[in-house]
Amino acid sequence: MKIVLYQPDIAQNLGAAMRLCACFDVSLGVIEPCGFPLTAKALRRTAMDYAANIELIRYKNWLHFTKSQTEDGGRIILLSTKASTAITEFEFRENDTLLFGRESAGVPGEVHAASDARIHIPISKDTRSLNLVSSASIALFEALRQTNTYP
């Protein structure tokens, strides 16, 4: 199981995602480019002391990610407000990759099309979306619960 962020815009969200992945012992991937400089110094600052406890995988672009994903053999599960299947109706597998879009724009159509499944987290009709890492936390916890792969 791993979390992958597609071109994240906000460095603090990357830091929070690093902490989430460290706490649940899962890998974190970042598909570049990011909306902020992704330097070693910036990573140390945003990740605090959690950076040493995770595997951070950097992908140069979407093509680089899809190529490595094909080699891994796992499914790409896109979390999207545009998806019709609720997370509560979806069956996760241990080697799934949970993919999350940019905070400002989600993901382009080609990413939607390339995903093996598209799911959403049911929220109030009066709201637009959850914070990126809030969504990642809910999705990861449900996936780990279903697969019984907690740390």
- The total of other beta-carbon atoms located within 10 Å of residue 1's CB is 21
Distance CA 42, CA 50 (A): 13
Structural domain count of the chain: 1
Q: Which domain holds residue 133?
A: 2-147
* Residue 37 pLDDT: 85
118, pLDDT greater than 90 = yes
Could you give phi then psi for residue 143, rounded to 5 degrees?
-65, -45
Tokens 């940019």 -> residue:
102
Could you give phi then psi for residue 100, rounded to 5 degrees?
-125, 135
Tell me, what DSSP letter sits at residue 67? H
Residues 14-48 pLDDT 10s = 999 999 999 999 999 999 999 988 877 767 666 66
Residues 56-111 pLDDT 10s = 999 999 999 999 988 877 999 999 999 999 999 999 999 999 999 999 999 999 99
**What's the CATH code of the domain at 92?**
3.40.1280.10
